[in-house]
Structure 1
Amino acid sequence: MDATDGPPVLKLGVSDAIAGLALSTEAHWNQTEEDWRVFLHDGIVFGIRDGMRLVATAALLPYSSNNAWISMVLVSATHRRRGFATRLVDACLETARKNGLTSWLDATPDGAAVYGPLGFTPTLQLRRLKLAKSKSSSGPAPAAATLEALRARDRRATGFDRTALLTAFAQRSGSRIAAANGCIALVRDGRIARHIGPLFADHAAEALALVDAIAQSETRPLLLDAVASQGAFLDGLTAAGWTIERPFQRMRFGPATIAAEDTPFAVAGPEFG
């Protein structure tokens, strides 16, 4: 079958959030309906339907300085190996090209092998870690911090202005911005686990102390997407009982447009950057 054959690529709307959630749930991902609404409201989500059923998606989420994130590349198990993911990623890249955007994504090892030949350049690496929680909280919550403080650190580390995204995260029920000793992190709900990130700090020891304080005040499982080059931080997490679930390779398509001032210890997630 030719790559252009088959059902058409469509632009999805906010009303497709539940259908998108069904796809990410099938893949055992951590996104919530609120996450899908961010992509559908603030970005462009392409999809393919089989009749009325949504069977494949890919999202392009614009940020500042002519940058955008590609994510939510999902195909139902019943419709794989038909070229749907390639068509949807191509739609994202073409939209980014028309709008003069540099595209970024966080790829699994299998995905990186696909995206590399398309012209994506590897940048930093990530490690997703999980901490299982099976007992009641045993410690006080760390101090709260302001959204403005988080936004400022986020821009220094990413080069992007992600005020809209961070505001959406912070305003959700159950979200909090925690801080201690110059460190700051966002904690939010996910479908199967709470997520810590982004997380910014000046030193690994302080970052580890903040993560430990957060963990001691939580009861649900926790996920964290650590920057692999923060070796002391990664070592400290695994020593504290966190387990590495999978790696991700951050990749860029197009010219570099930003100059980050520092490196985060953990990111907002492979779907958000």
Structure 2
Amino acid sequence: MAATDELPIIKLGPEDAMAGLVLSTEARWNQTEEDWRVFLREGVVFGIRTGILLVATAALLPYSGNNAWISMVLVTAGHRRRGLATRLVDACLETARKNGLTSWLDATPDGVAVYGPLGFTPTLQLRRLKLAKSTQAAPAPPAATLDALRARDCRATGFDRTALLTAFAQRSGSRIVATRGSIGLIRDGRTARHIGPLFADNAAEALGLVQAIARSETGPLLIDALAPQAAFLDGMTASGWIIERPFQRMRFGPATTQAEELPFAVAGPEFG
């Protein structure tokens, strides 16, 4: 038995938010301490320690309708390729199974090779885009209400994510904005502001809102767009956004809901 097989899996608590942030920062992810506190407060986060050092994590975040999101699957560089991530994802899946939950995740290309053999099946693809901003800022687009965002989010995902969206909206620096038939949320990240979720009646309206947001911001921006929204993606890249990486959305278990519309951007691969 390898030494890492003997390391117990533990459940993390609120006091572990900063230790989790160390792991996601090492991986150059965009999460903040507040993001970690969402997982620790609303879901369950499994971890593995060597002594007092947190070396691996995975989180299960429940949503409504018997659904849950698996994310924050992180292993520090010196402990990779030892099976820790698989053990932690198995712990998430076992917890989901006991609670009758269908599990979802957004995987990197490397992650697809790991999650496929575990029984996850692909659904749709995402594209992460980044825009490096100048220091010129224009007035922000009109503000919208949390209730309006929640209603649109529920139609597009089939999930009630009131707790998540409320946590986002209550953060310092967060904004919910809308123009015509589009609405979206902007929040702080560790290295860049993040746009999403984003909903619109068509690609032109979605592009218009993103362009208005970009004109009102002074730093780098990230957005996780749905690949099937091809006209939106084309418009984004034509206006200077660069595709950084793809994600593959995957599901473990039966489909539980039917969305009424397709969003243009999601809350992030860690949140869905």
Normalising by structure 2, we get a TM-score of 0.99
Letter in 2 for 1:235: D
Amino acid in the other structure paired with 1:166: L
Tell me how far 1:135 sits from its aligned partner: 2.0
* Structure 2 segments unaligned to the other structure (5+ residues): none
Residue 177 of structure 1 corresponds to which residue in structure 2?
Answer: 176
Quote the residue 2:244 is aligned against: 245
Contact preservation (8 Å) 1:43, 1:59: yes
Q: CA RMSD of the aligned region, Å?
A: 1.0
| Aligned partner letter, 2:9 | V
1:56-95 equivalent positions in 2, closer than 5 A: 56-95=56-95
Alignment of 1:22-41 (within 5 A): 22-41=22-41
Alignment of 1:189-208 (within 5 A): 189-208=188-207
CA-CA distance at 1:10 after TM superposition = 0.3
Contact persistence 1:3–1:87 (CA under 8 A): no
Following superposition, the deviation at residue 194 of structure 1 comes to 0.2
1:209-248 CA distance string (max 9 Å, x none): 0000000000110000000000000000000000000000
The alpha-carbon deviation at position 2 of structure 1 amounts to 5.4
Deviations 1:80-138 (A, max 9, x none): 1111001000000000000000000000011011111111111010000000013221x
83-92 or 112-121: bigger deviation: 112-121
Q: How far 1:6 sits from its partner (Å)?
A: 2.3
Q: Which runs of 5+ in 1 are unaligned?
A: none
**Amino acid corresponding to residue 204 of structure 2 in structure 1:** A
Residue 117 of structure 1 aligns with which residue? 117
For residues 124-163 of structure 1, the aligned pairs below 5 Å read 124-137=124-137, 139-163=138-162
| Larger CA deviation: 143-152 vs 128-137 | 128-137
In structure 1, the residue matched to 2:261 is 262
- TM-score (normalizing by structure 1): 0.98
- Is the Cα contact below 8 Å between 1:14 and 1:41 reproduced in 2? yes
Shift of 1:202: 0.7
Secondary structure (helix, strand or coil) at the match of 2:5 reads coil
Paired residues, what number?
Answer: 272
AA paired with 1:144? A
1:65 is paired with a residue whose SS is coil
Measured at CA, do residues 86 and 182 of structure 1 come closer, stay the same or move farther in structure 2, by a change above 3 Å?
same
**Aligned counterparts of 2:60 and 2:104: Cα–Cα separation in 1:** 9
Tell me which stretches of 4 or more aligned residues in structure 1 moved more than 4 Å. none
SS state of the match for residue 5, structure 1?
Answer: helix
Question: Which secondary structure does the structure 2 equivalent of 1:177 belong to?
Answer: strand
Determine if the alignment matches structure 1 residue 188 to structure 2 residue 176.
no
Task: Provide Cα deviations, 1:179-204, integer angstroms capped at 9, x if missing partner.
Answer: 00110000000000000000000110
CA distance in 2, matches of 1:166, 1:240: 28
Shift of 1:5: 2.1
CA distance in 2, matches of 1:57, 1:151: 29
Counterparts of 2:237 and 2:5, CA distance in 1: 47
Partner secondary structure for residue 78 of structure 1: helix
| Identity value in percent | 81
One-letter amino acid matched to 1:171: Q
- Which residue matches 2:209? 210
Question: Is contact 1:96–1:102 with CA below 8 Å preserved after alignment?
Answer: yes
Q: CA deviation at 1:67?
A: 0.2
1:272 equivalent in structure 2: 271
Question: Deviations along 1:58-95, whole A, 9 cap, x unmatched?
Answer: 00000000000000000000111111001000000000
Distance 2:110 2:57 in 1: 18
Query: CA 1:254 to 1:2, structure 2 compared with 1: closer, same or farther past 3 Å?
Result: farther
